[in-house]
Structure 1
Amino acid sequence: MDILTLSIILVIVLFGLLLSGLWVGFSLMAVALVAMELTRPGLAGAVFATKVWGSLNIWDLTALPMFIWMGEILFRSRLSSDLFRGLAPFTRRLPGGLLHANILGCALFAAVSGSSAATTATVGRMSLPELKARGYDPQLAIGTLAGAGTFGFLIPPSIILIVYGAATEQSIARLFLAGVLPGLMLAALFAGYVMIWALMNRDRMPAPAPAPSWAERWDAIRALGPTVALIVAVIGSIYAGLASPTEAAVIGVVGALLISGLSGGLDMASAKDSITGAAITTCMIAFILAGASFLTVAMGYTSIPRQLAAWIGDQGYSQFALLAALLVFFIVLGFFLDGISIVVLTTSVILPMVMAAGIDPIWFGVFLVLVVEMSQITPPVGFNLFVLQSITGRGIFQIARMALPFFLILVLATAILSIFPEIALWLPNTMLNR
């Protein structure tokens, strides 16, 4: 069977299974099984057993369930509501007012949860009713939340950066450091857009709020204190070289439990729910990783990745042309797959040609996460859109239209990162090469 025919068959099988509603992990396993039977019949069982075990028996992945659990604890505790209350006095006098609390709240919560969906749900449940009551434009309020909710993928401790690091055998500590400045840049771009929109649409903004008193500011600082302390404990321990990402994840869970327990925001029922939620999410990711690992080996037997890489190499693309082609490729995949599936499904094929083009794999991890963030706000499989649909009751495509400006800002951010790669590489090169 020629390569083109085999590729068409595998693509049809993959999207047929996904459209049927079969879980992504099992769909990847089924495609791998078809590929193995068409190219190396009889080997599928042994390869499946070996690769599934090997894909999950990775020390770096032990950080994954702990960071997920930390996010689940914060999601169910009073700490998340204190976050919005603490940011409000410092943002309401800016052009755009409390809309900036959406952006900053997502950035801060992303730094202690690592999950895009958890960030969107937590901040959205706090901020959207408050913004609606104060007369803010609902389209921009929902759009800022959809866009800023994607920070959970980029700002460390990012679950998807852990997955990328495990799949590509890259340093997770370096990836975490590489995500800091691009995350801050993206937050600044979002805030800049909100300011410009507010200045150009003064008639659609509520009346300016009075300046906060010093008592309000002090209360806000006290409300933000636990969240900032947890961020410093988790991220600071990694950057200072005091803890590995796995050890920092344990610090985060212990800190979240202590803070939630002392504040009275976590009861026994919520604690059990947090463990259940973390277990469900971890198992989902584990199935995807196992299926993608099996598919990676199966694709190696088909020689499709090798021939695809050779074909792209023969085109003589420059680095920028290659990145532009990959940008379009990942955006299209984002219409049909979630972010983690995109990363684990494509890295084995894409990374060799990326490295052959002289592109740093740490930098490419940040680039990939930025592009994957776009998949969170593109229908029909954008997870952030599903979360906001459940919160607002609006349609998926209606929310996607509200998020469109922030999708375009994400495209702009990838362009800036491509032109100035040191935005991602300066921090890990400075702090870890000393």
Structure 2
Amino acid sequence: MSEIAVSVTLVIVLFALLGGSVWVGLTLCGVALFGMEMFSSRPAGDAMAMTIWGSSSSWTLTALPLFVWMGEILYRTNLSESMFRGLAPWVNALPGRLLHTNVIGCTIFASVSGSSAATCATVGKMNIPELRKRGYPDEQIIGSLGGPATLGLLIPPSIILIVYGVAAEASIAKLFMAGVLPGLLLAGLFSGWLMLWALRNPDKVPKADDSLTFKQKLWESRHLIPVVVLIASVVASIYTGVATATEAAAIGVVGAFILSASQGALNWQTFRDSLLGATRLYCMIALILAGAAFLTLSMGYIGLPRQLAEFVGSLNLSPAMLILALGLFYIVIGCFLDGISTIVLTMGVVLPIIQAAGIDPIWFGIFLVITVETAQITPPVGFNLFVLQSMTGKQITYIARVCAPYFLLMVAALVLLWFFPGLATWLPSQM
């Protein structure tokens, strides 16, 4: 059979299993098993056992459950309330005023969470009631939370960057460093949009709270000290080479426990809930990664990645056209699959193509994650949309509409990343 016929057959099997509500991880294993049995002479049983065991016992993957656990611990603290109290006095003078607490709060929490949905839920639980109480319009409250919450996927430590690093066999420490500047760029674009909106609609922005002196602002900023210290400890330990990504994750867990204990939020119930929550999430991700590893092996024996890479190469696409095509592909597929599934489903085919085109896998990882970020606020499967719906009671279509400007800002960030690749490659090159 030709590579096109094999590809179509495997895609049909894939969507048949997904349509039957089979778990994504088991679906990947099923497609891989079907492919090896039908299109390869290699026995599938022992290959599946060795591949799943090898992918599950990877030392690199150890960082993932630790960062997930750190986020679960902090989710159960008063971190969001402390951030609001520390940030609010400083943003009152900006156009848009307290709406910027959503952007800055999401940026900060993204640095200690690694999850977009956790960032959205945690910051939203505190900020939505506070901003509504002060009279800010719902459309800007929700939009300025849904868009910036996607930074949880990009700013280190990022769960999805770890997944990409494992799938692409790229340095996770370098990926973490590569995500810093693009993450700050996106945060700046989000705040810039809020300022522009506020200048065009001054009547919709409530009056500023009572002004504080500089000394009083500094005093309120003390609430930010614990989280800033935790972020600095995790990121600096990686950047300086003192710790690997896994060791930095352990530092983050210990720091999260200390922060939780200092706030009086650490007890047996929160410890148990955080551990079980992290275990459930990690088991889901690990199953997907194991299935993806077996699917990658299966396609390798079939020869599909090589054949597809040769086919794409025969089209003589320039790197710019290839990136444009992949960007559109990931935006479309992201409307139906979550970010982790998107990456592990496609990496076995896409990675040889970008390597053949001479594209830096570290740069491509950041490009890919920003593209996947857009899927968090695009229907029908946008996790941030579901989180915001549960917290606000608004319709999915309404939430998607108010988040649309932030989708366009992320597309603008992708364009900037193409023309200024140093945004993603400069910091890793300093390691």
Task: Report the TM range for the smaller structure's normalisation.
Answer: over 0.9
2:21 corresponding residue in structure 1:
21
Amino acid in structure 2 at the alignment position of 1:375? A
Quick one: distance in 2 between partners of 1:24 and 1:83?
36
The SS at the match of 1:150 is helix
1:349 corresponding residue in structure 2:
349
- After TM superposition, what 4+ stretches of structure 1 lie above 6 angstroms from structure 2? none
Amino acid in structure 2 at the alignment position of 1:142? I
1:316 paired to 2:316: yes
* 5+ residue gaps, structure 2: none
Quick one: distance in 1 between partners of 2:185 and 2:259?
30
**Contact residue 93 and residue 209 of structure 1 kept, 8 A:** no
The SS at the match of 2:97 is coil
- Please state how far the C-alpha of 1:355 moved relative to its aligned partner: 1.7
- Please state how far the C-alpha of 1:220 moved relative to its aligned partner: 2.3
The SS at the match of 2:336 is coil
2:426 corresponding residue in structure 1:
426
1:280 corresponding residue in structure 2:
280
Larger CA deviation: 209-218 vs 363-372: 209-218
2:370 corresponding residue in structure 1:
370
1:360 corresponding residue in structure 2:
360
1:91 corresponding residue in structure 2:
91
The SS at the match of 2:117 is helix
**Contact residue 78 and residue 266 of structure 1 kept, 8 A:** no
After superposition, what is the alpha-carbon deviation per residue over 1:72-128, rounded to whole angstroms, capped at 9, x for unaligned? 010001123211221111112210111110000000001111111111110011111
Instruction: Give the aligned length.
Output: 431
1:191 corresponding residue in structure 2:
191
RMSD after superposition: 1.4
1:292 paired to 2:284: no
Larger CA deviation: 386-395 vs 41-50: 41-50
Amino acid in structure 1 at the alignment position of 2:343? V
- Percent identity of the aligned residues? 55
Quick one: distance in 2 between partners of 1:96 and 1:57?
48
**Contact residue 305 and residue 352 of structure 2 kept, 8 A:** no
In the TM superposition, 1:318-333 aligns within 5 A as 318-333=318-333
- Please state how far the C-alpha of 1:42 moved relative to its aligned partner: 6.7
TM-score (norm 2): 0.97
1:33 paired to 2:40: no
1:56 corresponding residue in structure 2:
56
- Please state how far the C-alpha of 1:215 moved relative to its aligned partner: 5.7
Amino acid in structure 1 at the alignment position of 2:188? A
Quick one: distance in 1 between partners of 2:231 and 2:220?
17
Amino acid in structure 1 at the alignment position of 2:264? G
Quick one: distance in 2 between partners of 1:22 and 1:132?
41
Quick one: distance in 2 between partners of 1:19 and 1:393?
28
**Contact residue 79 and residue 265 of structure 1 kept, 8 A:** no
Larger CA deviation: 219-228 vs 414-423: 219-228
The SS at the match of 2:147 is helix
2:256 corresponding residue in structure 1:
256
In the TM superposition, 1:2-17 aligns within 5 A as 2-17=2-17
Larger CA deviation: 376-385 vs 215-224: 215-224
2:220 corresponding residue in structure 1:
220
Quick one: distance in 1 between partners of 2:178 and 2:3?
37
**Contact residue 85 and residue 221 of structure 2 kept, 8 A:** no
1:265 paired to 2:265: yes
1:307 corresponding residue in structure 2:
307
Amino acid in structure 1 at the alignment position of 2:295? L
- Please state how far the C-alpha of 1:32 moved relative to its aligned partner: 1.4
TM-score (norm 1): 0.96
The SS at the match of 2:109 is helix
